[in-house]
Each structure stands twice: as C-alpha cells, then as structure tokens.
Amino acid sequence: MQFSVIICTYNRSRNLSGCLTPLAEQVDVVDIDWEVVIVDNNSADNTREVVLGLSDELPIEIKYAFEKRQGLNFARNRGIEASSGRYFAFIDDDIVVTSCWLSSMCQAFDEHDADAVGGRIHLDPSSKLPSWISQEMYGFLGHQDFGEDVFQMDGASRYPFGGNMAFKRRVVDKIGLFNTALGRKGTGRKREELFKGAETDFFHRLSAAGGRIFYQPRAVVYHHILPFQLTKRYFRTIHYNAGLQKAYHDESEYQRTLMGVPLFLFPQLGRAIGKYLLQLVTKGADAAFRQQMTVGHFAGMIQGYVKRGHHA
C-alpha cells in the first residue's frame, strides 16, 4: 500500500458522502495503490453504517476504524495504526479535495524525499463571511495559502494545517505519535472542547528532529464552514483556549511569578486592553474585534499558568 488517506470524524455522518465522493474522483492515480481509513471517534450517530454503505457504493477502498477515547489526536493516532500506506495523509470530514490532490501529494514526496507535505486550504466559496472577519483572520477558519511555488517549510513559523497534511511513515519512528494531551475534544462547540493547533506540536517536534517539510501548492482542498464557526464567540474561544493550552503545557521555569503566572504577562495584558479600548472608541466594535481576541489570548495564558500551578 503506497498511500493512506485518514479522516477522523465524530457525530458528523452527514459530512462523509460529500467528503468521500471527491476522493473517489481523483485523477492520475492509476499507478497509486491507496486506501481511505475513516476513524470513528466514538460517535453516537450512524457513522459506522454510513461508512460501510459508502464503502459498497464508491469505487475506492474504504476501511472503518473505531477509537473510543475522545479527542482528535487519539483518533489521529488510531488512524495511523489502522492504515497501511507508506505515506499517510489527514483531511477533515468537512474538507472537499480537488481532483489532483492525491497525485500532487505523491509527487511532492517523490520529488523532494519529504517527511511531510502540506497543501492549500481554501474556504468554501459558498460560505458567507460576516464583515468583521478580515482576511487576516481566515487562518482561524483553516485557510492556508503560501502562493504558487513549492518550498521547504521550517516547521516552526510555517507548517501545514491539520485539514491538509501528509507524512512519510518513517516520521512515526523518528518522533512518535501525536500528543493526546493536546487538541480538540468532541465537536468543538463547547469551550472545554475547542482547542486548535493539535498538529503544531507535531511539526515543531519534526522540525527539531531535522524533518523535511514541503509545501505543495497543487494539493488544494476546500473547507466547509459551519454556522457556529462564524460567530464572535467562536473566535474568542479559540484564541482564549490557545493561550490557555500554550501556558498550561509550558515547561519553562520563571523566577518572578504571581500565583504561578510570570509577572511580565500582566503588563502585556494591560497594554492589550488599552489598545483594544482605543480601537473600540475610535473604530468601533467590529474593527476592534481582532484586538479583543488578543486580549482573550493573554487572559487565557494567565488562566493556563494558574491551572498549571495548581496541578504542579
């Protein structure tokens, strides 16, 4: 088996046909031996029945795997174990791949001896975004596009997003599996579930181990945006939780702290609040919202350090 496509899903069986059908329409894959692995992360809906039905209907090899432990990285690790490909890729169940996606991924691995490859993620063009979501905020909805040219990513400041990333299996021997303490739990609709960037830690570890990570612009996918993801509450939550997660897992030791919080964070929070209030008065709530997210990020970090101190 040359290539495995892994899709982790939880209680979103209605998405699976729209995700799998474009995979069945890939071009230039006659010489590629590949499979699709659906990881059911303990869903309460009819995910298993839908997967088995699509396996009979579509002209591609589809395997069903089950992971009882709740969490995206538990599901990702189960998918790695259940897959057989020399390479394995992850897409989300709300992703639609373009027709040359798979062949483009394989080409990048072959031409660059890559350990990991990422492609472009564009937002579904049918999505109607509210005016307060500026283009610089598209990344919080999964958008990623570094242009038309292939290049090697550093894995620290630039790395693939989780909706469109692939790896050579030797990576697991080099750095292990995904960290199950990180990442989204459940559907991501509740504050305690909504943690993004679970792949960030993985790419940082891969980069530190000398891994070769490449950007393949021809591997394009489209991300379908759900209505709850187009709310200010959603954006505030992901930024707050990102700060909380970053601080809670920070292994650094700080000399000057208050309740476990490094003292330098408090003036940073104060400056962020001042900047937000100035923008709110001069530009209005929508224009100031991005700065409000920054305030939330610092507040999340403070809460994360306090929580880390209590669990020390």
The pLDDT tens digits for 53-105 are: 999 999 999 999 999 999 999 999 999 999 999 999 999 999 999 999 999 99
Is the pTM higher than 0.95? The answer reads no
Instruction: Indicate whether 164 and 291 sit together in one domain.
Output: no
- 3-state DSSP assignment of residue 184: coil
Instruction: Indicate whether 157 and 291 sit together in one domain.
Output: no
Locate the DSSP E strands across 93-242. 95-97, 116-123, 151-153, 164-168, 213-223
Residue ranges making up the domain that contains 164: 3-228
C-alpha to C-alpha distance for 186 and 209, rounded to whole angstroms: 31
**Residue with tokens 């030797």, as numbered in its chain:** 170
Closest alpha carbon to 223 in 134, 132, 145, 133: 145
Instruction: Indicate whether 247 and 223 sit together in one domain.
Output: no
Average pLDDT, the chain: 92
Answer whether residue 265 shows pLDDT above 60.
Answer: yes
| pLDDT tier, 184 (very low <50, low <70, confident <90, very high otherwise) | low
Tell which of 228, 251, 268 closes a domain. Answer: 228
Instruction: Indicate whether 221 and 81 sit together in one domain.
Output: yes
Instruction: Indicate whether 156 and 55 sit together in one domain.
Output: yes
Instruction: Indicate whether 221 and 134 sit together in one domain.
Output: yes
- Domains contained in the chain, number: 2
Helix axes 285-311, 265-283, angle to 10 degrees: 160
What CA–CA distances, in Å, run from 93 to 29, 153, 175, 268? 21, 25, 26, 38
What is residue 193's predicted lDDT score, i.e. its pLDDT? 47
Answer whether residue 312 shows pLDDT above 80.
Answer: no
Closest alpha carbon to 166 in 210, 246, 125, 221: 221
Tell which of 179, 199, 228 closes a domain. Answer: 228
Tell which of 175, 201, 228 closes a domain. Answer: 228
Instruction: Indicate whether 169 and 25 sit together in one domain.
Output: yes
- 3-state DSSP assignment of residue 121: strand
The mean pLDDT of 190-212, rounded to a whole number, is 78
What is residue 308's predicted lDDT score, i.e. its pLDDT? 83
What CA–CA distances, in Å, run from 130 to 18, 138, 303? 25, 12, 30
Instruction: Indicate whether 192 and 239 sit together in one domain.
Output: no
> Any idea of the CA torsion for 152, 155, 106, 86, to the nearest 10 degrees?
140
- 3-state DSSP assignment of residue 54: helix
- 3-state DSSP assignment of residue 203: helix
| pLDDT tier, 307 (very low <50, low <70, confident <90, very high otherwise) | confident
What is residue 183's predicted lDDT score, i.e. its pLDDT? 63
Lowest mean pLDDT among 9-13, 137-141, 187-191: 187-191
Tell me 144's DSSP state. B
